[in-house]
Amino acid sequence: MAAPQNYLAVIKVIGVGGGGVNAINRMIEVGLKGVEFIAINTDAQALLMSDADVKLDVGRELTRGLGAGANPAVGRKAAEDHREEIEEVLKGADMVFVTAGEGGGTGTGGAPVVANIARSLGALTIGVVTRPFTFEGRRRANQAEDGIAELREEVDTLIVIPNDRLLSISDRQVSVLDAFKSADQVLLSGVQGITDLITTPGLINLDFADVKSVMSEAGSALMGIGSARGDDRAVAAAEMAISSPLLEASIDGARGVLLSISGGSDLGLFEINEAAQLVSEAAHPEANIIFGAVIDDALGDEVRVTVIAAGFDGGQPPSKRDNVIGGASAKREEPAPRATEARPSFGSLGSVTPRDEPKVPEPVEAAPANETQSAPVAPPQVPPARPYQDSQAEELDVPDFLK
């Protein structure tokens, strides 16, 4: 008699480098179910502290287990040198998550190699990475951008979480330790939002093929998370998810959307309908929306909504920040956008180019410039000049009278 076959989707989560290994440690701590955890690092000490099912020290020859020294080239070579070992632990996976903190050495250089191996084995490969905080320095930011661009070529779908956005949802007294824990928590939410749809039997159930239809060769993706309690909680959570500070761009135009709604056993049908309708209106009119609802009584009266949007025309989602900043401040005056655009530029090198580009349209500004210049010049000539002298004269008289 033939042995019963396992028909469950095999999901593996690989943490590459220090940030990636920290993230999977957090997932293990929280109790993420139905997945196998693999830790890959060039730092032997960090691996010892991990509870991952499989640990691969890829730096034992190249770095003697001492880490990559924030050099992506070292991380890349270390992963390439252990390609066969990585291939062995990834075999049989239907879905592979590659998670890393971009900007360092092992994660930035090694993650694209791991993703390449996973995809070559036929697994649906999803990258979930963080972009470094501004305070981590320009060099790290530059390396992160290069690493993200390289990883995008090797995965089916890439979700990038900008750590700086975490500051907008954190308290001013937040510690550095808690800030990095928050980044790990968001990486967890990204992975859990997808895996729960497949591994947790839901009220409205989804299977691996549903998820694959949205995520396969989808390019850049966006992830938003929302939670709410009380009246209109599902709609409030959905609104929070699609306008999440973690979203670097708008979900407008997304042709593939994964929508996960979790709540207690009192989760209502109309609540689910309203939340799903809100998300579908924000996406492309012909979007393929894969929807799942999971009942989890541990949530009490809380409803959680996770939205993952992918499949944008041109592969890249439309930036909402640039549109808002450029549109609103351009109406006022030209120098303002340069000042405001300088702030978001920490996030991506792409936003450095807009700073150079406004210099090119200066000839075009020549005609309006005369108008705008003549406007500020006119007021000083007419009212301000005379009243200023009068007021001075009055001010000189007043002290005399007072004396």
Strand-strand pairing, 288-295 and 11-16? unpaired
Q: Does 158 reside within a domain?
A: yes
- Per the domain annotation, does 223 fall within a domain? no
Ramachandran region of residue 177, left (φ > 0), alpha (ψ -120 to 50) or beta?
alpha
CB-based contacts of 195, cutoff 8 Å, min separation 6: 11, 32, 34, 35, 97
Over residues 31-47, the pLDDT tens digits come to: 888 899 999 999 998 89
Nearest Cα to Cα of residue 10 among 104, 89, 116, 75: 89
Residue 177 included in any domain: yes
* Tens of pLDDT, residues 2-23: 444 556 789 999 999 999 999 9
User: Which DSSP symbol is given to 382?
Assistant: T
Cite the DSSP H helix spans in 233-334.
233-242, 269-282, 320-332
- Tens digit of pLDDT for each residue in 229-239? 998 999 999 99
Residue 234 lies in a domain: no
| Domain coverage including residue 194 | 8-199
pLDDT surpasses 80 at 250: no
**Global pTM?**
0.73
113 within domain boundaries: yes
Please give the mean pLDDT across all residues of the chain.
78
* CA angle at 168 for the pair 164 and 171, rounded to the nearest 5°: 110
Report helix, strand or coil for 133: coil
**Residue 311 and residue 367: Cα distance in Å, rounded?**
41
The total domain count for the chain is 1
Is residue 111's pLDDT more than 90? yes
pLDDT in tens, 127-148: 999 999 888 899 999 999 999 9
* Residue 2 neighbours by CB distance under 10 Å: 4
Please report whether residue 240 resides in a domain.
Answer: no
DSSP 52-100: -SEEEETTTTTTTTB--TT-HHHHHHHHHHTHHHHHHHHTT-SEEEEEE
Q: Is the pLDDT of residue 372 over 60?
A: no
Count of other CB atoms within 10 angstroms of residue 365? 13
Q: What is the pLDDT of residue 71?
A: 93
Residues 6+ apart with CB under 8 A from 251: 222, 224, 242, 257, 282, 283, 307, 309, 317
pLDDT digits (tens, 9 = 90+) for 337-357: 433 333 333 333 233 333 344
Residue 268 maps to a domain:
no
Which range, 112-126, 127-141, 356-370, is most confident? 112-126
Q: Is residue 255 predicted with pLDDT exceeding 60?
A: yes
- Domain containing 140 — which CATH number? 3.40.50.1440
Q: What is the CA radius of gyration of the chain?
A: 26
Residue 54 belongs to a domain? yes
